[in-house]
Amino acid sequence: MTAVHSILPERLTQVVDAELQAAGVRHVRHGEADPVTAAEAAAADTDALALIGPFRSAAVAEAVEATAPAGLPLLAPVATWAGVTRDDEPGCDDPARHRGTVLRLVARDTEVAHRIAEHVRANGWHALVVAGEHDYGRQLDGQLRIAGLPRAEDAGDADLVVLGGLVGEAEIKQAAATVPLPLIAFDGVQGAELGDREVHLALPFAPVDGVPPRDLFEGLDQARRASRLAIRALDDGASDRPAMLDALRRLGGFDQHGDPLDPPVWLWRAGPGWNVEPDRPL
C-alpha cells in the first residue's frame, strides 16, 4: 500500500496524520528523535513515495544522504538554510546532496535577504548591518551583500538597522546600542532585549486566517500544505517515486532547484513580550 513517511515534531506529525488518514493514505510517523535512522527506514520502504520533513535544515541535509540515492522525494516544510536546495549562495559551503529530490515549502534565507534589500532600496534608506560572528550571521551578511542592500557604515548615517543574529549572542548587545533606530531582524532573535524602538521580523510566513502566529511559525500550516500536496500528487496518478517527484514539482510550483516560486515573505511587528502581528508583505 502506498505510503507517505514523516520526520517531524509531534504537533506537526498530528497535522500530517490527520490529512493523510482522511485521504486514505498510509502514514508512517517517525517523530524527530533520530532523523537519520528514520530517513533510512523511509528510503528502504518500497511503498514510500514521499517523505515530509525533517523539521530543521541540518536534519534535512542529513536525511537526504539516505533518501536522495533512493530517489525518495522529500518535502521540507520550514527549512530555510540556502544549502538545503542550493550550492551557489553564501552559507552553502557544505550543501545538502539532494540530487534534485528536495522541495522546500518556504522562502530560503537568501530570498528573505533580497526582499529586505528591495524594501530598503525602494524607500531610499541605508541600513547598518549587525551580523553575528558565527556561521548564521556570516551567511546572512553575505546574502545581504549579494542582494545589494544599501549600507551605512555607522549608526549616525543609517536609517535603520538590519540584524542577522541569534538570541544570547554578542550581536544582540551591538544592536541594542543602536536605539532609537528602527530594526528589521531575520529569524533567530525572538526574545532578545533590543531596546525601546520599532522592531520587525522578516519571516517566510504570510498570515493565515484562523492560524495563530505561534502555530504558523511552528510550521503547522506548512505541514498541512505538504500533506495536501502529496495527496494531490497521488490523486494525479503518481505511482512511483519519479512520477511522484514530477507531480509534486508541477503541482506545487517549484523552480529547478526545488525552491517555491515567489514565496511569501512578510514583516511582522514585534510588540511587548515579543507578541508579533503581521505588518506588510515584502
What are 238-261's pLDDT values in tens digits?
Answer: 999 999 999 999 999 999 999 999
CB 63 within 8 A of CB 36: yes
Tens of pLDDT, residue by residue over 101-132, are: 999 999 999 999 999 999 999 999 999 999 99
Q: Could you tell me where the DSSP H helices lie in the chain?
A: 10-22, 35-44, 57-67, 109-122, 135-146, 170-176, 213-218, 220-235, 241-252
Written as nine digits, the cell of 267 is 514583516
CB 75 within 8 A of CB 226: yes
**What is the C-alpha separation between 4 and 27, in angstroms, rounded?**
5
Q: Give the strand pairing for 183-185 and 160-164.
A: parallel
Residues 124/130/134/137 CA torsion (nearest 10 deg) = -20
**CA count, 13 A, side-chain hemisphere, 202:** 29
CB 99 within 8 A of CB 70: no
**Percent of the residues in the chain that have a pLDDT greater than 90, as a whole number:** 98
Topology annotation, domain 110-203: Rossmann fold (3.40.50)
The answer to whether domain 3-107+212-252 has CATH 3.40.50.2300 is: yes
Greatest CA span in the chain, whole angstroms?
A: 64
Tens of pLDDT, residue by residue over 38-72, are: 999 999 999 999 999 999 999 999 999 999 999 99
Residues 111/112/116/117 CA torsion (nearest 10 deg) = -30
> Phi/psi of residue 37, each to 5°?
-65, -40
Q: Where are the domains of the chain?
A: 3-107+212-252, 110-203
- Quick one: pLDDT band at residue 213, thresholds 50, 70, 90? very high
Tens of pLDDT, residue by residue over 147-189, are: 999 999 999 999 999 999 999 999 999 999 999 999 999 999 9
Residue 3 has pLDDT above 90, yes or no: yes
**What is the C-alpha separation between 112 and 122, in angstroms, rounded?**
15
- Burial of residue 272 (number of CB atoms within 10 Å: 0-12, 13-18, 19+): exposed
- Burial of residue 236 (number of CB atoms within 10 Å: 0-12, 13-18, 19+): middle
Residue 1 has pLDDT above 90, yes or no: no
